[in-house]
A and B are shown apart, each in its own frame.
Chain A
């Protein structure tokens, strides 16, 4: 328990402003974000729980809370909570109109009541509140309308019962934030099972619901110390299932946002569990096809980790290099953006450890035929801190970069890239002119040596294949698996 109490988590505003304003990624992205486009007609869906209802629903209209005496209020409050457990079918827009409206106004009243009232939170109210919330929000999410729902292209299907659901969420958040709220009592009802169901809802297609869930989970994480490890573990499982099994989960960005605020509060030295989370869960998330939907939040989490513990830099960068996109240029630009964020906070001692594989990759990016990738990589040379690191280590970096820069400076189809390359070469020349001249002088012979090596390889393989053929004939009973 003591380990948890040292853990500090950021308020939700702070974390969302940090995470929703992605730093340098968008700046250079020439494509407009599709998600910003104006919403077209939105479809609605309802939870998967309604079989056709036969009878209309009748609720007894109760008096307003403010109209009864203070002694009667707790009793009436409970009654209203019970009434709000009644669910309505919102796909049928004509049924139970009056009762739907009554529940809506009752929920509104409850929201106000928990915000302003004092002394309403008796021990008996906790189970009733949790029951009412559970009844309303916990449901099997319906199948997605389109098989290949692309969150970037398609409009999300909105939750039909939102008029009620929104108020339930709001009520619950106010309840959790209420000054009288006592986690020691609530933990009997807000338990692991509750949290698990809550986490499943993050797959909701409705962004409004995910936003509410984010706040709810953040508050629960903050107030229930005993649930923290459990919540982290379940988020792990969701992410791992997302990366390695389904490739589908709508709430990754929201969960990462919460994690962003959690990581910030991790106590030092970092526990092995947290490091494992970084390396085995957060890094593989980079390989997801839908990375663009949560990349800003993910990069924020990564940088948070590195600011906490700089010794993690090497495994993180190696991880990024492992998952480096092979074919998707858009993702490559995102990776380069994230890498720059990391380089912004890198310690020179860590930089030295990783510079070789790192600049081999950067050298590949610089010579990418996709000009946005090349451009994004070349922008590193405008970053003063990165420049200072390159300068300190030019004897290592320049030989890695030289060949691609030299070749591309003559060949790249895009004049803007050629110009940028020229500037980079110039910078290198000024940095370490002796080495630069050496490399320029040996460029040709180096290429020839490479070609020779290539030919030797081919020879080797030819000989090996001849051998295999001979063996194949000698042992026709099948030594060679074919």
Chain B
């Protein structure tokens, strides 16, 4: 890309077109200064266009100084500017000039508003890679140092995100300085800066040499993990994952574990929550031995924590934690240490805890195998299937496939049915919607007989639900069932009931028939569609309600591809023509659309101008 940048700098200015005077910088800068914020914002978002008009040299010498000097704008404008500058390398003449972008970005990295600052840091990180090692030391690293020793907390906060991008590419003297700056920020006076440093600790550790991870990072980690503010301590937990991954196993016990143990028992629930939330990552980072000795009891405590937030976070990790236990002792640990806690969580007082557990508990069956599942887990599944909170029941039902693989679903079906029926009739439509979505899955697991006997009537009942979203989902559900059980099954069980609704006194139900036909015709195939569905649709073209009639037109368009051309000409076309002359404007419109959409051979059906009808 260095080659292309030269070609740009030689011919890439507006002057190349011979109309340099067309874009005097003043005019462009006026645009960037427009009194109206919105216009200013638009101009800034097209900054690359302006730079292109000016050419690389004037962009460097005139535009960038202007931008650097006028960084007292609305935050939204500054945000756009910070983003633009991250993509500006080519517009200032390529990597050898990229450092020209540093002054405006440096100012942007010190502003108050967090999103602007973060964007400036993001752009700085991006262009740091485009600096040569020399430029990095001459231009970039001094900027980082200036930010790191800035008066106001904002610049120091921004500095935290820049250490890791320059560290790997500078000399060892400079590296030592960078480490010193990072150390200072970790013990900064303002908690905002310490939080920023703590959140970048893991990232910084990754680019450091192992000896410095041990000497520097560990002491910083320990200090941040015992900060007086819990918002700082919890960020140290995040860093713990990266740090533990970097260290050899034999050092973990002395360097990391004391801090991690302390975090798992922190007096602030936010810190404990963080430990629970990162538990799987921590487990992988510290390895099987420490997991067995330390993490198992810690996990038990988190599952029994006094705050529901912590218990829920831990409950979410139950399956992953068990999966990742060392194979030789997995079953013993689960049975003796984890399962007793899980049992208690099934009857937790907090519904979020129960629902978090319900979303993962079924996964334990694959880990524990058939016998243990039947003896120990099944009672828990059944208890959760009867839980008062619908979300808990739903979470169980949505994960049925895991159990099916291990013990077969028959074990559950007796309890499953009442649970499904209750959810199907729940007063909240969102709950009904959720259970509909699991119907195809359930049908697949339970088999066609069970389905016909127990669940089919539910599926049909949803078609006449008083909430449109449910009727719509029920229609979609039928399609999936037909895909699963086949056309013959559809003809025997579903189609008669769907078509029966065409005579319903409620026009919404009559329309549902049409919607079902739209959805089912393809899956059912030509024969069923032509023989059974089409006559009903055609008959409905005489419906009194205009909405039904124009949906007939839509349906005819929809099912057209399934029908043969003879049938289209002799049966469909006359009806569409009749509807195209309907007294209702919408019916006309959709009939015309349908006629236009179908490619009839003869051209006596010339589509009239729609506007004629709307006049």
User: Residues of A at under 8 Å CB distance from B?
Assistant: 48-52, 140, 142-143, 193, 196, 233, 237, 240-241, 244-245, 280, 284, 322, 360, 457, 460-461, 463-465, 467-468, 471, 475, 477-481
Contact = CB atoms under 8 A, between A and B. Distances in A.
A360 B35 CA distance: 10
Interface in B218-269: 228, 230-231, 267-269
Given A244-B112, A322-B74, A467-B17, A479 B4 contact: yes
A480 B51 CA distance: 10
B503 interface: no
Interface stretch (B7-15, B552-560, B583-591): B7-15
Interface string B2-26: 0010011000101001000011000
Nearest to B151: A276
A164 B90 CA distance: 68
A196 B231 CA distance: 14
Interface string B27-64: 10001000100010000001011101100000000000
A480 B52 contact: yes
Contacts of A48: 268-269, 306-307
Given A240-B153, A467-B52, A143 B269 contact: yes
A237 B48 contact: no
B46 A241 contact: no
Given A467-B52, A475-B4, A196 B114 contact: no
Contacts of B152: 280
B269 A479 contact: no
B192 A241 contact: yes
Nearest to A318: B72
Contact of A475 (B7, B87, B88, B230): B7
B309 interface: yes
A394 B88 CA distance: 46
Given A140-B230, A245-B114, A481 B90 contact: yes
Nearest to B72: A322
Nearest to A281: B112
B221 to A, nearest CB: 22
B8 A475 contact: yes
Nearest to A321: B74
A196 B190 CA distance: 13
B113 interface: yes
20 contacts: A48-B268, A49-B267, A49-B306, A140-B230, A143-B269, A143-B307, A143-B309, A241-B191, A280-B152, A463-B22, A464-B46, A467-B17, A468-B48, A475-B4, A477-B1, A478-B90, A479-B4, A480-B48, A481-B48, A481-B90
Contacts of A471: 12, 52
B267 A196 contact: no
Interface string B202-231: 000000000000000000000000001011
B202 to A, nearest CB: 19
A244 B114 contact: yes
B10 to A, nearest CB: 12
Nearest to B42: A461
A365 to B, nearest CB: 15
A71 B231 CA distance: 48
Nearest to A139: B267
A244 B269 CA distance: 23
Contacts of B22: 463
B7 A142 contact: no
A461 B52 CA distance: 12
Given A52-B306, A244-B114, 17 more contacts: A48-B268, A49-B306, A140-B267, A142-B307, A237-B190, A237-B191, A237-B192, A240-B190, A241-B192, A241-B231, A460-B27, A464-B46, A464-B49, A467-B17, A467-B53, A479-B4, A480-B52
Nearest to A360: B35
Contacts of A284: 112
A464 B308 CA distance: 59
Interface in B85-106: 87-88, 90-91
A278 B419 CA distance: 60
Contacts of B35: 360
Interface string B70-89: 00001000000000000110
Interface of B: 1, 4, 7-8, 12, 14, 17, 22-23, 27, 31, 35, 39, 46, 48-50, 52-53, 74, 87-88, 90-91, 112-114, 152-153, 189-192, 195, 228, 230-231, 267-269, 306-309
Nearest to B117: A244
A50 B112 contact: no
B5 to A, nearest CB: 8
Contacts of B112: 244, 280, 284
A460 B19 CA distance: 13
A466 B74 CA distance: 29
A461 B27 CA distance: 11
A201 to B, nearest CB: 13
Contacts of A477: 1, 4
Contacts of A237: 190-192
Nearest to B114: A244
B347 to A, nearest CB: 15
Contacts of A241: 191-192, 231
B192 A465 contact: no
Contacts of A51: 306
A193 B152 CA distance: 23
A142 B112 CA distance: 30
A457 B31 contact: yes
A49 B267 CA distance: 7
Contacts of A280: 112, 152
A284 B114 CA distance: 12
A467 B152 CA distance: 42
B465 to A, nearest CB: 30
B268 A140 contact: yes
Nearest to B76: A326
Given A48-B307, A240-B153, A244-B114, A467 B14 contact: yes
B192 A244 contact: yes
A48 B31 CA distance: 56
A51 to B, nearest CB: 5
Nearest to B5: A479
B267 A465 contact: no
A204 to B, nearest CB: 15
Nearest to A48: B269
Contacts of A480: 48, 52
A143 B271 CA distance: 12
B52 A468 contact: yes
A245 B228 contact: no
Nearest to B190: A237
B153 A464 contact: no
A404 to B, nearest CB: 14
A296 B583 CA distance: 62
Contacts of A468: 48-49, 52-53
A37 to B, nearest CB: 27
Nearest to A477: B4
B264 to A, nearest CB: 14
Contacts of B7: 475
Contact of A245 (B27, B49, B189, B192): B192
Count chain A CB atoms within 10 A of each CB in B17, B191, B308 and give the residue with the most: B191
Contacts of B14: 467
A280 B154 CA distance: 11
A34 B480 CA distance: 49
Contacts of A196: 228
10 tightest CB-CB pairs across the interface, nearest first? A481-B87, A244-B114, A477-B4, A143-B309, A140-B268, A464-B49, A468-B49, A48-B269, A51-B306, A479-B90
Contacts of B268: 48, 140
Contacts of A143: 269, 307-309
A145 to B, nearest CB: 10
A464 B267 CA distance: 61
A245 B8 CA distance: 43
Contacts of A140: 230, 267-269
A477 B17 CA distance: 20
Given A481-B87, A481-B90, A240 B17 contact: no
